[in-house]
Amino acid sequence: MTRKTRSQPQKPLPRATIKEVAALAGVALGTASRVINKNSRVSLENKAKVNAAIAKLGYKPDMVAQSMRNGESHTVGILVRNITSPVLAGFVRGAQDVLSEQGYTVLLGCSEESREREVNFLMSAASRRIDGLIMITTSEDDPELLSLRQDINIPTILFDREIPESFDALLMAHEQGIRQSLEHLFSLGHRRIALLTGNDNVFPARARLRGYRSFFEARGLPVNEGLISANTFTSEGAFVETSAVLGMAQPPTAIILGGISMLAGSLSAIKARGLRIPEDVSLVASGDSDLAMFATPPISVVRWNNTEVGRTCALLLLERMKGATPAEARRIIVPTEYLIRGSCGPCPSAPLKSQ
Amino acid sequence: MTRKTRSQPQKPLPRATIKEVAALAGVALGTASRVINKNSRVSLENKAKVNAAIAKLGYKPDMVAQSMRNGESHTVGILVRNITSPVLAGFVRGAQDVLSEQGYTVLLGCSEESREREVNFLMSAASRRIDGLIMITTSEDDPELLSLRQDINIPTILFDREIPESFDALLMAHEQGIRQSLEHLFSLGHRRIALLTGNDNVFPARARLRGYRSFFEARGLPVNEGLISANTFTSEGAFVETSAVLGMAQPPTAIILGGISMLAGSLSAIKARGLRIPEDVSLVASGDSDLAMFATPPISVVRWNNTEVGRTCALLLLERMKGATPAEARRIIVPTEYLIRGSCGPCPSAPLKSQ
DNA sequence: TTGTACGCGTTATCAA
DNA sequence: TTGATAACGCGTACAA
């Protein structure tokens, strides 16, 4: 169904230039520029004339020309995996929030796990002379991406990624989060606990695996590698992996999801097998969401404040861009919170002494 | 917890320029430009030399300088209310998808319902010479925004907004969606049905109100204005409004949520009063989501394919930017789908003949 | 304090 | 086919 109405513009209107402002004010171009960039001294009279001309013409400085001149674009790139994840969207919102408040505009890139997209985004962002970059890369060891970043060489903050000795990084304490959830599940009698997370070429997966293994090792218990999957962060993947562990001869009595997009897929798999939460299987997710809060029962989560973390990343970047920071790359670990909800219950079978 | 590692760059590396390419190749600057922009004829020998120089220097054209020269930036602005809503995030993802495929980069703006932010984004985007714009504005009648848009005068696509005789607009068939859900609820015996939606200064609210009223009028039934709220699209607002209608002397037996972010708040309110869905109250939401799918019971929704709609908007914009479209503003209505899930049940009391 | 002129990196025009 | 040069809009060094 289509209806037509009045005309649409094809070409942008020409904007007033500083030259026109100067002409209208009857002063030299340099003078007009000086009143716009307050730093220099101009006679009150000329200042008034220029300001009048600016108002009359609706003059706004052209940032393209300014970039050309300064090298700065007042633009920051944010590269995420998938803007569709509420956790990442919250992150972007927070970062965008403080950046726009400081006069920066955000160039958004979504990799959708594609290296090609990442590289394209970085190239076009660099070619637009972005002043800074916040990245959540798909992997930490893509040589093309790394060398490209090296070439661009602008202030960069990594979120939840660590690339050997190079970048400022803000990392969530996933390791701690996993340990806390394991402690809780242990206290409920669970011993066969699955950890489903993504490929260990990124920090969050490694940290969670570390948390999981160290927990058992600290107690002198063997780590059941069969209960660990480090294959995927996606919802579809979570469906597959959850189905797989639940189909084992001795299925786990609890599952920890080590990825922010995995809950829906895992719930589907559990439902598909006709299992109840927490009577048949306990569940812990990563990253809070409406789904985790309103599921029946509500799902225990290792969570953090996405928006706040986004804000922090932006602030770190701003410091870096101002050059107000020591040259060493910083590595900041932000605590997570383990929140108990109804999805964790006592272990259905009597707890075994060791596994 | 902070740890330091190696050094961070402060200033971007200087990029190779076309001038350096020409010098290294031993040709004139113009010749280098010609081999880069294939259209013109260059001798095979010079072409080879230039290409060698490009490869050696890792030359990439500077888009800022290109913008300066052409006026085009290969950048598109997308302005949304709140990137945190999965529906809007899906929209952005779809749009970004096709735009980046066509060589455009996305400048993202989040208004968070603030007119000031909208205006700021538009100004800075214009000043960066964006080639096109996709907008979901906070209101349809903000004069400042309108005159600003007028000044900028670039190809623009509105999503779910209609501004009198001006812009291409892609509109969802919310009216149809509401009528379908009303039909379903009616068939289940419901007569007291609340509609909670946002302020009618934007299309989706108006369309839903129209759908609601026309449904009753078409059946010769009076419209119970007391069951209509047109105040808010937010989750917090939905909590308040849901609580309000449920607290009425004669509460509705069914509620339709006319906004994509309202479900969580409304569920909270229903739960807070200890009511069961659908035994005590039936519920229909707008826009599909993990929450709607996995709630207990799953929630019936008026839904559409967010990503696909975003893609369509981007395609419309691309056409507009190419000037391949008739000058008349287009107004395209996209169908919605009403999907029945477990949240709608028979009316708890015997259906009354008329209200 | 003000005006002039240059250069940022490109593309396009005009001569050669 | 190629080379030299103007222009895009701005900020600033330099001269007045």
Say yes or no: B97 and B207 in one domain: no
Q: How far is the CA of B68 from the C1' of D8 (A)?
A: 5
Say yes or no: A228 and A166 in one domain: no
Contacts of B127 in chain A (CB under 8 A): 60-64
Assigned token pair, A163: 């690339």
Kindly determine whether the C-beta of residue B125 is less than 7 Å away from any atom of nucleic acid strand D: no
Nucleotides of D under 7 A from a protein CB: 1-5, 7-13
Q: What is the pLDDT of residue B353?
A: 42
Say yes or no: B190 and B166 in one domain: no
Compute the distance between CA of residue A246 and CA of residue A244 in angstroms, rounded to an integer: 5
- DSSP codes of every residue in A21-83: HHHHHTS-HHHHHHHHSTTS---HHHHHHHHHHHHHHT----HHHHHHHHS--SEEEEEES-T
Q: How far is the CA of B53 from the C1' of D1 (A)?
A: 20
Kindly determine whether the C-beta of residue A69 is less than 7 Å away from any atom of nucleic acid strand C: yes
Strand partners of residue A331 = A169, B3
Assigned token pair, A189: 């009698």
Q: Strands B156-159 and B132-135: what pairing?
A: parallel
Q: How far is the CA of B148 from the C1' of D12 (A)?
A: 31
CA B279 to chain centre: 34
Provide the shortest C-alpha distance from residue A105 to chain B (in Å): 7
Compute the distance between CA of residue A96 and CA of residue B127 in angstroms, rounded to an integer: 18
Hey, are the CB atoms on B65 and A62 less than 8 Å from each other? no
Going by pLDDT thresholds of 50, 70 and 90, the confidence category of residue A56 is very high
Q: Quick check: is A8 in a domain?
A: no
B324 touches chain A (CB under 8 A): no
Contacts of B155 in chain A (CB under 8 A): 8-10
Going by pLDDT thresholds of 50, 70 and 90, the confidence category of residue A350 is low
Strand partners of residue A171 = A333
Of the candidates A128, A233, A183, A202, the one whose C-alpha atom is nearest the C-alpha of residue A338 is A183
Query: CB–CB of A329/A165 below 8 Å?
Result: yes
Question: What does the angle CA A265 – CA A83 – CA A259 come to, to the nearest 5 degrees?
Answer: 40
Say yes or no: B93 and B125 in one domain: yes
Cβ within 8 Å of B, A 292-321? 293-296, 320
Say yes or no: B38 and B130 in one domain: no
Q: What is the pLDDT of residue A5?
A: 46
| Mean pLDDT on A84-98 | 97
CA distances from B306 to A115, B92, B175 (A): 24, 9, 17
Q: Quick check: is B143 in a domain?
A: yes
- pTM above threshold 0.85: yes
Say yes or no: A126 and A228 in one domain: no
User: E-assigned strands of B72-223?
Assistant: 75-80, 105-110, 132-135, 156-159, 168-172, 193-197
Of the candidates A157, A77, A92, the one whose C-alpha atom is nearest the C-alpha of residue A122 is A77
Residue bearing the bigger pLDDT, A285 or B152: A285
Nucleotides of C under 7 A from a protein CB: 1-5, 7-13
Compute the distance between CA of residue B217 and CA of residue A25 in angstroms, rounded to an integer: 62
Query: CB–CB of A195/A231 below 8 Å?
Result: no
B124 touches chain A (CB under 8 A): yes
Q: Quick check: is B11 in a domain?
A: no
Say yes or no: B105 and B209 in one domain: no
Q: What is the pLDDT of residue B39?
A: 77
**3-class secondary-structure state, position B86:** helix
Q: Quick check: is B317 in a domain?
A: yes
Q: Tell me the pLDDT of chain B (355 aa) as tens digits.
A: 444 444 555 567 789 999 999 999 999 999 999 999 987 789 999 999 999 999 999 999 999 999 999 999 999 999 999 999 999 999 999 999 999 999 999 999 999 999 999 999 999 999 999 999 999 999 998 888 888 888 888 999 999 999 876 789 999 999 999 999 999 999 999 999 999 999 999 999 999 999 999 999 999 999 999 999 999 999 999 999 999 999 999 999 999 999 999 999 999 999 999 999 999 999 999 999 999 999 999 999 999 999 999 999 999 999 999 987 777 889 999 999 999 999 999 999 754 444 4
Of the candidates B122, B117, B110, the one whose C-alpha atom is nearest the C-alpha of residue B84 is B110
Q: Which domain holds residue A223?
A: 174-303
Strand partners of residue A78 = A108, A134
CATH number for the domain that contains residue B46: 1.10.260.40
Cβ within 8 Å of B, A 275-294? 289-291, 293-294
Say yes or no: B252 and B284 in one domain: yes
**Which of B4, B83, B125 lies at the smallest CB-CB distance from A83?**
B83
Say yes or no: B253 and B325 in one domain: no
Q: What is the pLDDT of residue A151?
A: 85
Spell out a b/e string for A33-57, using b for 16 or more CB atoms within 10 Å of the CB, else e.
Answer: bbbbeeeeebeeebbebbbebbeeb
Cβ within 8 Å of A, B 60-89? 60-65, 67-68, 71, 73-75, 78, 82-86, 89
Q: What is the pLDDT of residue B201?
A: 93
Going by pLDDT thresholds of 50, 70 and 90, the confidence category of residue A167 is confident
Helix (H) or strand (E) holding B292: helix B290-294
Q: How far is the CA of B35 from the C1' of C14 (A)?
A: 19
Question: How many folded domains does chain B comprise?
Answer: 3
Contacts of B3 in chain A (CB under 8 A): 330-331
Q: What is the pLDDT of residue B8?
A: 59
CA atoms within 13 A on the CB side of B52: 11
Q: What is the pLDDT of residue A326?
A: 77
| Mean pLDDT on A67-71 | 94
Q: What is the pLDDT of residue B352?
A: 46
Query: Exposed, middle or buried by CB within 10 Å (0-12, 13-18, 19+), for B327?
Result: exposed
Query: CB–CB of B87/B306 below 8 Å?
Result: yes
Say yes or no: B85 and B142 in one domain: yes
Q: Quick check: is A352 in a domain?
A: no
CATH number for the domain that contains residue B316: 3.40.50.2300
* Contacts of residue A249, Cβ cutoff 8 Å, sequence gap at least 6: none
Q: What is the pLDDT of residue B10?
A: 57
Helix (H) or strand (E) holding A159: strand A156-159
Q: What is the pLDDT of residue B209?
A: 98
Q: Quick check: is A9 in a domain?
A: no
**Which of B106, B117, B154 lies at the smallest CB-CB distance from A9?**
B154
Lowest mean pLDDT among A90-99, A216-225, A325-334, B240-249: A325-334
Query: CB–CB of B9/A323 below 8 Å?
Result: no
Say yes or no: A268 and A323 in one domain: no
Hey, are the CB atoms on A291 and B294 less than 8 Å from each other? yes
Q: What is the pLDDT of residue B165?
A: 64
Of the candidates B256, B209, B263, B257, the one whose C-alpha atom is nearest the C-alpha of residue B236 is B263
Q: What is the pLDDT of residues A186-201, one digit of tens each?
A: 999 999 999 999 999 9
**3-class secondary-structure state, position A249:** coil
Q: Is A189 left (phi over 0), alpha (psi -120 to 50) or beta?
A: left
Say yes or no: A182 and A286 in one domain: yes
Contacts of A263 in chain B (CB under 8 A): 290
Question: What does the angle CA B303 – CA B307 – CA B311 come to, to the nearest 5 degrees?
Answer: 125
Q: Quick check: is A189 in a domain?
A: yes
Q: Quick check: is B13 in a domain?
A: no
Contacts of A107 in chain B (CB under 8 A): 75, 105-108
Q: What are phi and psi of A225, to 5 degrees?
A: -65, -25
